[in-house]
Amino acid sequence: MSNVTGGKELAADLKRLKERTPKQLTRIALRFGAKIIQKAAQDEAPRGPTGRLKGDIRVAAGSSKKDFVSVKVIAGKKAAFYAGFVDEGHYTGKRVRVSNKIKGRDARKAEYHRLSRAKGRTWIEGNHFMTKAFDATKDKATDAASAKLVELMDQVLH
C-alpha cells in the first residue's frame, strides 16, 4: 500500500479547479498508472497459437460515483473470451448443472466443483498472469498515478 503525502493540500487544490473537474484529473492519472499494469500483464500473458490474449488486455473505466473514480485492467472481452479460463483455471469436458435449490454462491460453487470431480472432469490450473502483473507493478503504478495527478494539477493551477 502506498501513501500520498500532502493529501490535505491536494484536496484543497482540487476544490479550486475550474477548467477540469477533480474527477477528470483523477481518472487521467489513474489511467496513466493502469497503463503500467496493463503493459506488465501483456508481458506476463501466455502466448497461444493466435496471440489474441495479449492484445485483448486493456484499461477500462471502472465505477464512478460522487466522490469516487476507478479504472481497471481487464482481459478478454473482444477476441480473447477465454482470458478468464487461462487466468483463473477451468475444468475440461462437458459442463455440469447445479440445482437451483442450493442457495448461496459459495455453496453452489462447492457443489459445482464436487459434481465436476464426480463426473471425471479434469481441473486445469490457471496461469494467474493478471495477479502476477498487478503484484509486480502496483507500487510503481501508484507512484506514477500520484505523480501524474500532481503534474496535471500544476498544469491547471499555474
Task: Read off the pLDDT of residues 41-69 as tens digits, 9 standing for 90 and up.
Answer: 999 999 888 888 888 999 998 888 877 88
Average pLDDT of span 89-101: 91
Domain boundaries, the chain: 7-80+128-157
pLDDT of residue 76: 80
Closest CA to 152 of 58, 28, 18: 28
Residue among 121, 149, 102, 129 nearest 43 (CA): 129
Buried b (16+ CB within 10 A) or exposed e, 81-97: eebeebbeebbeeeebe
Closest CA to 37 of 18, 57, 56, 51: 57
pLDDT above 90: percentage of residues in the chain: 54
Cα–Cα distance, 37 to 31 (Å, whole number): 10
